[in-house]
Structure 1
Amino acid sequence: MKKSRILGIAVGATLAMGLSASALATDGYQLIGIGQYAVGMAGAVVAAPDDPLSAAMSNPAGLALMTPQAAFSAEIFNPVRKTNLGFGEIGSHSNVYGVPAIGWVAPAFAKNWVFGGGVYGTSGLGVNYLQNLGSAGYAQASSSITFMQMAPSVAWKVNSHLAVGASLNIAAEQASFQQTFTEYFPTGLPSPYPSAVPVTGGLNLASPSWAYGVGATLGVLYKVNDMVTLGATYKSPIMFTPLTWQAGTQNGPGGATGTAGQYSGHLNYPQQVALGLAIRPIPQWLISVEGQWINWRATMNDFTIYGPWNGPSYVQLPMHWSNQWVANFGTQYDVNNWLQVRAGYTWGSNPISNNTIASNLIFPAIVQNAITFGATQKLGMGWKLTEAYMHEFSNTNTGPAGSSPFGGPMPASATMYENSYGLQVGYDF
């Protein structure tokens, strides 16, 4: 196989780098909730935020109903991913990540106004695949993306029924990607010279790059009566500055080639809408349901890379994500004055189809069903402890025959399941 053909296959039929800020939880690459109360409720907190973290992430209007307090959450996130590049299933070598978060709320400048917010993020999420292609060579596909966000918020309790709030979403993301093929290219040189000289080509943007973005969240809570509360949230897109990489020669899709220099691309965060309903059949029992729409198609349809390409000024890597619908269900029961227990279930439509999985193998955000459990203990003197566990059930996407990005005999596929374990400490001032 000639060198030019090898390099063309390496990226021309590429994994198309399913670029995302993190392959997290049910909601594409978005966590189902920030903080362990929200995780234990399976993210169903738009109509029932209970601490600064769940409010800052899901509905800032909830801050207006809270006493001054602070919360710190630490979560161990364990996504297990496998892929088939056409030559047999392999696993990723990066499976454990930390998810920290901190939130607060305090009185603001006038009666019934509060100031609060949160700082939260993920660290080091990505994949690292190495596929041995036998005597032909090997393929390497890796990614590492960090997404962090700060959400200073204000909220106003308009009256005994209505609260409104807004957050400024200030975000930073770091990204690096590599998708290369190394061929044991025969030279034909006589002994004692080596019979094969490795030749590597593909898309290699492995130097980490930072980008910064801003967006906003608007939220409202309406208490119909002591039993029923309605909630709604709109999150604007977070628009980021370009990610930039200083990189060597590149081999892009469709046979595109580029020289050494600066490459760049935008990776924005999608707008979304959430509506929620919280019901208390009895004072100690809470039932919360929520529906979300996430506009992935606007940000994850194509990823455009600008740079010193030979010919065009940019190339596009197709990912073709669909918009996502998410349904969250959570319930909480106050066992006594110091113990609360909760559980939840969340389902999200898959933004990646079987027909497009070969273009999204680096970030297989394909899990759809999760169950969660949690509890809170009120320890006295303002302290409380909250724990949560989440399990995302395994899901597999398999492409059609001939979808292997490297011409292998098997179709491309991705499998993923997840667990998370979290602990949160809160203090009421």
Structure 2
Amino acid sequence: MRFNLKHAALVAACAAAFPAHATNGYFLPGFGIRSQGMGGVGIAYGRDSLSTAANPANAVNTGMRGDMGMAVFNPERSAKVYESPASPTFGFFSGDVESDSKYFLVPEMGFSMGLTEQLHVSMAVVGNGGMNTNYPRNLFPGLGGPPPTPVDKGIGIDMMQLLVPISVAYKVNENHALGVSLVLAETRFRAYGIDTFKAFPILTDPTKLTDNGFDYSYGAGVKLGWQGEFMDDKLTLGLTYASRTYMTKFDKYSSLFAEQGDFDIPENYGIGIAIKPKKNLVIAADVLRINYNDIASVGNPGPGDDPAGAAQGIPAMDLAAIYGGCPAATNPYCLGGDQGMGFGWDNMTVYKLGVQYGVNNKLQVRAGYNYNKTPIPNNQVTFNTLAPATVEKHYSVGFTYRPNDELEVTGTYMYVAGNNQSRCGQNIVDCAEIGMHQNVFGLSMGWVLDPGPVALGEYGEDDWAGINFDGWYGGFNFGQSKYDVSATVDNTRTEGWKVYAGYEFNKYLGVEGGYVNLNDMTARTGTVRTEIDTDAWTLGAVVSYPVTAKLSVMGKLGGAFMLADIDTKNGAALTAKTGDDGFEPNYGVGVSYALFDNLNLRAEWERFDRKDLNIDLMSAGMVVKF
């Protein structure tokens, strides 16, 4: 099977267009959907080309292969600002708010091959992580301007970080391998709605703080890796070191980030171990250290506890020390200065554990656990309302199915448990609380030209004796849903996605069912805001007509059991919470293109006919045929 580099380039371009929302601080829990199914391990164990981003020495075991995948991150973020009896909130918004943006696509791709028996090369395009918040109500209104910031002006940030490690690995002898990567990096960032800070005389340049659109930063670093195999390949150890990645500065936000807009990627290093009690059972663990605190824009303290109060041994920025001293090049404590306010993050140690079992010669299953202590000290909650990286515990399951010798299909689900942090006595607001939990869904394809020295042995030896999958397929689409309502609307367009499976009786007729998430919309009538969150389970007939050998048009007709949660608010207060579930018609049209023998690209429009409103879903994705 031929790996098409034009298609790979297209996916790489897409990767630069979508933000991620990460879980180990702002880093992803692991490189590649396969790794994330094992808790993110990858230092001592990796079998696909994406694993070379975790340890370049993995390339000696990946063979010749190409990988493409897509993950959907579903972070649910919330923030709350309120006053204690001892102190007012200076007229700021007092209440809680949830971020609107809830789904993010994270594409990935990679390729690896051996040049000789000893020398191997690889390249990957992966999301390193990111942060996104999009609060519909401003947490800090009443100041800023002129004019003053209104409460209904949104506030948030949008940051995405992309890595392209180009790796070379050398097998020194039968048991040891070394690897090195040149890591190219791009970061995209914007901030909006934080005009309130303009009311304080703490800025180097008020025009480079907020609402300046996207800015881009570029840079490069180096990653080194080693792997050693012992005890007849039953034990593998690994080490990695990634240098600080030096990035160009964010000129549009040079008064927000310390060191005049600097936002380097922190140094990180780790150790890993993989044990194989039997050929088809792998138990792996990593420990990774990420030095967030060494990056001034991330690690410098932000507004927190009054320095005269209980700081728990953690310094907090004393705003009084810089009042009246900005803008002045001689004052490093101004926002944007070398000692300017940051997010106050600590360095982080991440612990990862994963298990993989080869059920038979076509199926592997895996599970994992990933833990890190939140990098945010409790006295640094105020700034981190914009970046609530509070989560600590991650649980994952996954599988790889091999329908033939040249194709692997991998899926992963990760649940990230919720965690909240709060603190009163902050410098700018009195009390602040932040929280987040996440879901991660991922699907990837691996085209295997040479499986490498060990990968096939990690499947089970028994023949597949399960279901005959001929005619079956599964797919995933991501796109935009639109609610058709008559009320005054805040937001009717939002992300939508679906996962589905079906069976083709022949090339003209099939049946398909799945789960559809239509996300939410907000409508306003006077001071009353109504938020509707909708998802659905679908089942229907699919009719296809092949226009060419690769291109088909399709139509769909069926039904959907729709579940709607409706929240009605008057101001910040929740006045009613109801549900509205029921069966509704579902129909649509689309096109399908056969990219490879087992992989189709699909684009479609669907209508969900509710009695009170219609919802349209425009989506595109890929279909895997088994």
Query: In which range does the TM-score fall when normalised by the shorter chain?
Result: 0.7 to 0.9
Structure 1 unmatched ranges of 5 or more: 1-20, 183-199, 254-262
State the one-letter code of the partner of 2:191.
Answer: F
State the one-letter code of the partner of 2:404.
Answer: G
Residue number among 242, 266, 273 corresponding to 2:269 in the alignment: 273
Structure 1 residue 95, shift from structure 2 partner: 1.1
Task: Tell me the TM-score normalised to structure 1 length.
Answer: 0.80
| Partners of 2:191 and 2:212 within 8 A in 1 | yes
Partner of 1:288: 284
Partner of 1:342: 366
Residue 381 of structure 2 aligns to a residue whose secondary structure is helix
Distance in 1 (alpha carbons) for counterparts of 2:140 and 2:26: 33
| Partners of 1:239 and 1:269 within 8 A in 2 | yes
| Partners of 1:266 and 1:303 within 8 A in 2 | no
- 1:278-357 matches, within 5 Å, as 278-299=274-295, 300-302=298-300, 310-312=327-329, 315=335, 316-357=340-381
Task: State the superposition RMSD in angstroms.
Answer: 2.9
Partner of 2:230: 224
- 1:11-90 matches, within 5 Å, as 23-25=21-23, 27-54=24-51, 56-86=52-82, 87-90=94-97
Partner of 1:13: none
Residue 412 of structure 1 aligns to a residue whose secondary structure is strand
Distance in 1 (alpha carbons) for counterparts of 2:365 and 2:21: 28
Distance 1:63 1:201, change over 3 A: closer
Structure 1 residue 22, shift from structure 2 partner: 6.0
State the one-letter code of the partner of 2:408.
Answer: K
Structure 1 residue 213, shift from structure 2 partner: 0.8
Distance in 2 (alpha carbons) for counterparts of 1:125 and 1:331: 29
**Matched positions, count:** 372
Structure 1 residue 320, shift from structure 2 partner: 1.7
Partner of 1:414: 434
Instruction: Spell out, residue by residue over 1:313-353, the C-alpha distance to the aligned partner (whole angstroms, 9 max, x if none).
Output: 75212322111111100000000001000000010021101
Residue 214 of structure 2 aligns to a residue whose secondary structure is strand
| Partners of 1:245 and 1:264 within 8 A in 2 | no
State the one-letter code of the partner of 1:426.
Answer: G
| Partners of 1:61 and 1:156 within 8 A in 2 | yes
Distance 1:61 1:122, change over 3 A: closer
Distance 1:232 1:246, change over 3 A: closer
Partner of 2:252: 245
State the one-letter code of the partner of 2:171.
Answer: K
Distance in 2 (alpha carbons) for counterparts of 1:132 and 1:349: 28
Partner of 2:426: 403
State the one-letter code of the partner of 1:266.
Answer: D
1:374 aligns with 2:398: yes
Residue number among 91, 97, 101 corresponding to 1:94 in the alignment: 101
Structure 2 unmatched ranges of 5 or more: 1-18, 83-93, 143-149, 197-205, 303-325, 450-626
Structure 1 residue 264, shift from structure 2 partner: 4.6
Residue 388 of structure 1 aligns to a residue whose secondary structure is strand
Distance 1:122 1:273, change over 3 A: closer
Structure 1 residue 163, shift from structure 2 partner: 0.9
1:142 aligns with 2:156: yes
Instruction: Spell out, residue by residue over 1:169-198, the C-alpha distance to the aligned partner (whole angstroms, 9 max, x if none).
Output: 10011111124357xxxxxxxxxxxxxxxx
Structure number with larger C-alpha Rg: 2
State the one-letter code of the partner of 2:225.
Answer: G
Partner of 1:113: 119
Structure 1 residue 66, shift from structure 2 partner: 2.3
Structure with higher RCO (Cα < 8 A, 6+ apart): 1
Residue number among 149, 159, 165 corresponding to 1:151 in the alignment: 165
Residue number among 190, 193, 198 corresponding to 1:176 in the alignment: 190
Residue 63 of structure 1 aligns to a residue whose secondary structure is helix
Instruction: Spell out, residue by residue over 1:208-256, the C-alpha distance to the aligned partner (whole angstroms, 9 max, x if none).
Output: 1111010011011100122111011111111101111189xx8x89xxx
Residue 317 of structure 1 aligns to a residue whose secondary structure is coil
| Partners of 1:99 and 1:123 within 8 A in 2 | no
| Partners of 1:181 and 1:202 within 8 A in 2 | no
Distance in 2 (alpha carbons) for counterparts of 1:233 and 1:332: 22
State the one-letter code of the partner of 1:204.
Answer: T
Partner of 2:536: none
| Partners of 2:21 and 2:130 within 8 A in 1 | no
Distance in 1 (alpha carbons) for counterparts of 2:290 and 2:378: 20
| Partners of 2:209 and 2:253 within 8 A in 1 | no
Residue range with higher mean Cα deviation, 371-380 or 110-119: 110-119
| Partners of 1:97 and 1:123 within 8 A in 2 | no
Task: Tell me the TM-score normalised to structure 2 length.
Answer: 0.56
Distance 1:365 1:288, change over 3 A: same
| Partners of 2:20 and 2:131 within 8 A in 1 | yes
| Partners of 1:180 and 1:202 within 8 A in 2 | no
State the one-letter code of the partner of 2:33.
Answer: Q
| Partners of 1:396 and 1:414 within 8 A in 2 | yes
State the one-letter code of the partner of 1:102.
Answer: M
Distance in 1 (alpha carbons) for counterparts of 2:50 and 2:102: 25
Distance in 2 (alpha carbons) for counterparts of 1:82 and 1:267: 25
- 1:157-172 matches, within 5 Å, as 157-172=171-186
Distance 1:365 1:359, change over 3 A: same
Structure 1 residue 310, shift from structure 2 partner: 3.1
Distance in 1 (alpha carbons) for counterparts of 2:137 and 2:278: 56
Distance 1:122 1:169, change over 3 A: closer
Residue number among 401, 408, 413 corresponding to 1:389 in the alignment: 413
Distance 1:386 1:23, change over 3 A: closer
Instruction: Spell out, residue by residue over 1:64-117, the C-alpha distance to the aligned partner (whole angstroms, 9 max, x if none).
Output: 122111111110111110001331111011111110110111123x44101112
Distance in 2 (alpha carbons) for counterparts of 1:173 and 1:135: 29
- 1:191-206 matches, within 5 Å, as 203-206=209-212
